[in-house]
Amino acid sequence: MKSRSQPIFSSKAQLNELAKLVQNYVRLPFSPIAVPGGVLEGALSHVRGAKVLGKYDFVDVVDERRKIGWQVKSTLEKTPITWKRVKLKNRESLIDKSIGSEAAIQVLGDTIIAFCNEHARRSFEKHELEEIGYARLIIHKDRLATYFERVLCTKDDPRVFHAEDFKWTWSKQKETKGKDQLSALHGIHIKTKTRWFAWHGRGENQLHFTGEGSWWPAKGQNTNAIRFTLPTEAQRLSVEQFADLLANTENPLPEV
């Protein structure tokens, strides 16, 4: 999906600036290699002149002037994406009806997709947006990182996912030492025949987006993406260097 009129996508210069901010964060003595989503939100808002909402919403960063917003996610490459917690009001009834009924299973899956899309639609209405994008940082092995952006949905069509693209099935309950692992509802992407979703509705309601990797840019693809290296352990600031840096700044931090 291409951005029609609003500048969801960062320029090459902005992508380079964002990468430098992430690299500098990783140089801090206490920072983890797994860059938190909040750090990426701050970097994106700085680069794009936007603001971090800092509250539960579909969009994490909003540019009110341009009427665009981004959902922001940052994880290690192998960490599964939790798209959101899908808490359905009639969850137990829908689950009970879905047992042994393919039609009812599909109704449950369609309800999950509708729940996700409604969350996005409310952000369009609440923040008066025209487009919503996806800002994603992936930390690979060997201290490599990929950041990319894509358009998720528009005001004209606020659906992130289309219900007709998925077929749903319950996984088999697994028995493990100590306790049983509850079955999850799997959403199979019909076109690719791959699992895109796993809803743990019998537990904590997480919806894992296992198909998110299909959104990742291919190696060598630089459109709306940037690939960069992260500082090594030897390139991190020591605690002493960090303390000296703060002490020598022209605008020292106020005393607590």
Strand-pair category, 225-229 with 61-63: unpaired
pLDDT digits (tens, 9 = 90+) for 16-58: 999 999 999 999 998 988 999 999 999 999 999 999 998 789 9
Reported confidence tier of residue 256, pLDDT bands at 50, 70, 90: low
CA pair distance 25, 33, nearest whole angstrom: 9
Taking the model in full, what pTM does it have?
Answer: 0.90
Q: What are phi and psi of 41, to 5 degrees?
A: -60, -45
**pLDDT tens digits, residue range 141-180?**
999 999 999 999 999 999 999 999 999 999 987 665 544 5
Nearest 5°: phi and psi at 150?
Answer: -150, 160
Q: How far apart are CA 7 and CA 64, in angstroms?
A: 12
- How is residue 81 annotated by DSSP? P
pLDDT tier at 117 (50, 70, 90 boundaries)? very high
